[in-house]
Structure 1
Amino acid sequence: MPANWDIFCTVVDNYGDIGVTWRLARQLVAEHGLTVRLWVDDLRSFERLCPELAIDCTQQVQQGVEVRHWSGDWQPVDAADVVIAAFACQLPAPYLEAMAERERVPLWLNLDYLSAEDWIVGCHRLPSLKYKQVQKFFFFPGFVPGTGGLLREAGLLEQRRAFQADRLARRDFLRGLGVEPTDGERLISLFAYENPAVAGWLDALAADTRPTRLLVPEGRVLADVRDWLGVAALEVGDSQVRGALAVQVLPFVPQQDYDRLLWSCDFNAIRGEDSFIRAQWAGRPLLWHIYRQEEDVHLDKLEAFLVLYTRGLSAPAREAFNGWWRAWNTAGDMGQAWSALLRHESELNEHAERWCRELGSQVDLSTALVQFQQSSI
């Protein structure tokens, strides 16, 4: 019999954790035929990614996944064969006891945060803590062989390439969001945390010789864009034009539509983990706003990824790309960085597709998890 899986997710305010676990749960069901319960502590936030969700229902099935509301009022359940604690979340004490009481000890995994740092390969799949006789293991997603890989649904890259080759499909999708690009207009999506570097980039886009349409899904960066525009409010459906730049606010869309938004744009500015991965599957140049951490340790993670990603670029293109990312994440001069980057736009476009193919040749995260489970039997 196929193993049954429990995935536990504590939602924070940036949607990356629920975004990753929701994609993973769906894929384990759809592609591996597994029985999956997804335990989520905040259904209202989850609803942003899955509008069909009934937020007042503690137990329901969505897209083949059993969704359970995880609250302080914990009701006894049998532990699953495979238990995933996403991003080091703490499991309920009664559930830990249920794990320990099983005749066959479950496989307990800590699905950790994504990183390109060298030490990830050495720590992947190593044993971690124990609860009684139940051993927990580290499981690290990653960009290189020897890690757990990245979330990638079967056929995703073929679907993306077909969509990008179909001008009518792209036009119809954008029209559904109320977006009507003009001929020759550059399309950029902007999904980021609050960032003082926003103003410098928007200044450069407004002064550019080529028109740009900036598509901003509702979120935390919207306040910075509003301040730059000098308007009292900026809401879904609003459009503003400053020089060569048209700014358009989009609704927060389900994951499949967000993928298509990324596929539709020439550049994608993204944040966190889930959208960071999806932007790489889009095969377009991307700008990552990494989540800020104390003592700037996030910048080490940023640099580790840049080392990997920019391999194969010419020295001038690599310098321009690195400068663009560093300016975005350290409140640097985005106007100068953007100008330098555009001199290498063609090379960066080719490189983004090449990088996507390279990542796509590796095992995907869900398959790596299933393989590890099978090897542990």
Structure 2
Amino acid sequence: MKQTTWTWDIFCRVIDNHGDLGVCWRLCADLGTRGHQVRLWVDDASALAWMAPSGCAGVEVHPWTAAEQTTEVGHVVIEAFGCHLPEAVECAIAKQPRTVWVNLEYLSAEDYVGRSHGLPSPVMQGPARGATKWFFYPGFTEGTGGLLREPDLDSRQQKFDTHAWRTVRRGQHPLHAQERWMSLFCYEPHGLPALLHALSCAPQPTYLCVTAGRAQAATTQACQTLAWPSQGAGHLHITYLPYMSQTEFDHLLWACDLNFVRGEDSLVRALWAGKPLVWHIYPQDDLAHHDKLRAFCQTTGMPSHLRQIHEVWNHVPPSTPLNWPDTLPPDWLTWSQACRDQLRKQTDLCTQLIGWVSQRRGRL
């Protein structure tokens, strides 16, 4: 039986980082590889030049301004992260009652996610008044929309050669048998200088791969605070990476012994990597991200010491020093692998979304 495919219009606004675009592109690419036709409408697509330089079959990228003149939409419209659709798009939705309008929400482990996933939101004003928008929530538990995980992810990861990847990264410098590798993708964490100092003093040498952008700027500033050269000191060697495609970023996470990640997309990719991780949540003025962190730690059964590291990294009060271990505790790896195995039991987000949309369209 031939699988039903549709045309999807996915709308995304880039606020001050590229996380929203990263999530949307992974969804677009996943849908495209499954035979769907996808149009991504975005107000700033510049990051796709390095995030997805080869594009993806079945996926077209359009400027947001072009959507302001559109007269029709596809079978599915996704309003990513409450980005508010152009008026012309809402007019088109009103004329196409079988179009399924989805509000793709942010990822959280908080209790409201399970209660809110799949609920209707009647549109009370504007050109699409009388239509229905539906909430679709990613999540870590049954009853949520799950996590993005493309069908071939496990097979690609199993074929990945960590030693070969590290050898290329090291270039002319030989690999150190006892060296631990870490990646750093963060905002400006309060505990960064303390982390660098602890790694420099640890008996085991560390090779720290710092991603481009804010993480690089924060690391350079931390080295200046410590009166160090930017390449590190003691047993810590720091290397600065260029902007990486999503595929290259996945390889980085697979190759490292521990990953510092930030936002939503990199957290999910770090979970699939099955390596210990420290998550830097996007900071909010009302400190709502602290509740989000606590929910994630509790839902995933995070070990207490690693949870304390997360709280200091995210500046959760009361303020305490960063107690970084000389060697990575074995229960960190046990936790990360158990967490990955548990999450693999969920149906992935794209599969769930396709099935859910099919049900909605069947009722229209």
Provide the TM-score with structure 1 as the length reference.
0.87
Q: 1:87 aligns with which of 81, 88, 109?
A: 81
5 Å-filtered alignment, 1:195-210, equals 195-210=189-204
1:202: how far off? 0.6
Length, aligned pairs only:
352
Q: Deviations over 1:165-198 (max 9, x none)?
A: x34443355358x886422111010010012210
Q: 1:49 aligns with which of 48, 51, 55?
A: 51
Letter in 2 for 1:364: D
1:343: how far off? 6.4
Secondary structure of 1:84's aligned partner:
strand
Letter in 2 for 1:183: A
1:85: how far off? 0.3
Confirm or deny that 1:289 pairs with 2:280. Answer: yes
5 Å-filtered alignment, 1:108-127, equals 108-127=101-120
Partner of 1:18: 21
Residues 174 and 180 in structure 1, CA contact (< 8 A), matched pair in contact too: no
Partner of 2:32: 29
Confirm or deny that 1:138 pairs with 2:153. Answer: no
Q: Deviations over 1:113-145 (max 9, x none)?
A: 000001110110000132323210100000001
5 Å-filtered alignment, 1:208-357, equals 208-230=202-224, 240-310=231-301, 318-330=303-315, 332-333=319-320, 335-336=322-323, 338-339=324-325, 345-357=329-341
Secondary structure of 1:221's aligned partner:
helix
**Same amino acid, percent of matched pairs:** 39
Residues 9 and 40 in structure 1, CA contact (< 8 A), matched pair in contact too: yes
Q: 2:345 aligns with which of 361, 369, 375?
A: 361
1:12: how far off? 1.9
1:220: how far off? 0.8
Question: CA separation of 1:239/1:179 partners in 2, compared to 1, >3 Å: closer, same or farther?
Answer: farther
Partner of 2:100: 107
Residues 14 and 44 in structure 2, CA contact (< 8 A), matched pair in contact too: yes
Structure 1 CA distance for aligned equivalents of residues 147 and 210 of structure 2: 25
Partner of 1:8: 11
Structure 2 CA distance for aligned equivalents of residues 283 and 136 of structure 1: 35
Question: CA separation of 1:167/1:49 partners in 2, compared to 1, >3 Å: closer, same or farther?
Answer: closer
Secondary structure of 1:148's aligned partner:
coil
Partner of 1:184: 178
Partner of 1:171: 166
Structure 2 CA distance for aligned equivalents of residues 64 and 154 of structure 1: 17
Partner of 2:157: 160
5+ unaligned residues in a row in structure 2: which ranges? none
Letter in 2 for 1:328: W
Confirm or deny that 1:375 pairs with 2:359. Answer: yes
Letter in 2 for 1:122: R
CA RMSD of aligned residues (A): 2.4
5+ unaligned residues in a row in structure 1: which ranges? 54-61, 312-317
